[in-house]
Structure 1
Amino acid sequence: MPPKKKARVSKRTASTGKGDDGETVSSAGGKRKAAASVGKNEKSSESPGSPQCSHWLMKSEPESRFENGIDVKFGIEDLKALPDQTGCWDGVRNYQARNFMRQMKEGQLAFFYHSNCKEPGIAGVMKIVKESYVDHTQFDKKDVHYDATSKPDNPKWSMVDVQYQRMMKRFLPLSELKKYHLQHRASGGPLKDMALFTRARLSVQPLTAEEFDFILSLEDEEAL
């Protein structure tokens, strides 16, 4: 999930917030230095026969919330403000969300979703610029995402680097997306099985090309 916004090298990357559904989301504050590449002992990122996805939705908290004295806030404007508009998406502590990140390929696009805020929804588009590698925050005792059960010779958690691409032409609120989801469930439209509603607790979610393209088309439409 998104990094936290701390003075250290990558705060968007460090923050662990809660998704709209209550799932812990990471904070991707790409100010931290990248950790070492994923080692041989890391678990496989996918289960046998798992479908490969090429588009994603990733949640982060744009409003201040403190954990252990650290502000885990990280919105799309924070990503945009980082050097090269690039940050690591660290702090993900859900196995399924982690596995999705391990499937990500350089160059793939993801929606930056504002979560756990007054008006959750899709704020912009970012690109995966570095594929899955070890999330160093799991070993940092001062980090809110520290995991005492994870060992350097067998790390549990991974992260990717993302780069800001652009803001949506208009913010797409969760409430509007839900209306389309309900309509499409009845009519068989593109968002009928969207993970935002079928697997809502996940902070990192796969999107089909059809779902991604339909959502992009909404920015040129009047709000539903």
Structure 2
Amino acid sequence: MRIGKIDYLNLLPFEVFMKAFPVSLQTKAVMAYKKSYPSKLNRDFLFGRLDGGFLSSIMACGQGKIALPCGIIADGEVWSVLALPNPNKKDYQSASSNALIQVLGIEGEVLIGDRALIYKMSGGEGIDLGQRWKEKKGLPFVFGLFCVSKQKQRAEKIILKFAQAKVKIPQYILQKASQKSGVAKKDIVRYLEKIQYRIGCKEKRALEVFYRELLFHKIKKPKRF
């Protein structure tokens, strides 16, 4: 099974979980992971180069995609999705965040992922889109959803356990992630406390509200979650 993994710190717990998940050596041998940024993984899934993975929530519903109850969620400030004062410039890495800034009526440049987190930790100023959505809608925002195109039962078993797990990240992995990203270990820990993964009733409601806003603003016509 070819799984797409967003190469950001927000999925570091997923990476740790998958390394420890008790599957056979044969299953692990046939699993292939492709790391990239969200919009690139969206395209790879669309063209059949991936069987599953975390997709931007704006792309996660539609023909050939089965969304599982797991995603990348922030209930308030997220730190890694920001609007900077640079009008008319989009972030090529994220479809959902580019749509979200339009829904929120904010003029500015979207900056996402570890680049946004580094900017935030260095004292840079910007509008936190997770916080602004929470202020306006009173709901969390679902930035990504785990989707599969086949082998749903196998994937669902793993993903449901991940969504409910409390993953403890070893210090050596935190150190490695810090060196790679340029974000201090203590800031990675603080950041991951803001990220949730389980899709429940409130998160489904948040997705419906977001999709309704997309229709209203004529940004995209998604299918229901």
Q: Normalising to structure 2: TM-score of the pair?
A: 0.29
The structure, 1 or 2, with the larger RCO (C-alpha pairs under 8 Å, 6+ apart) is 2
Structure with more strand by fraction: 1
TM-score (norm 1): 0.29
Determine which structure has the larger helix proportion and give its number.
Answer: 2
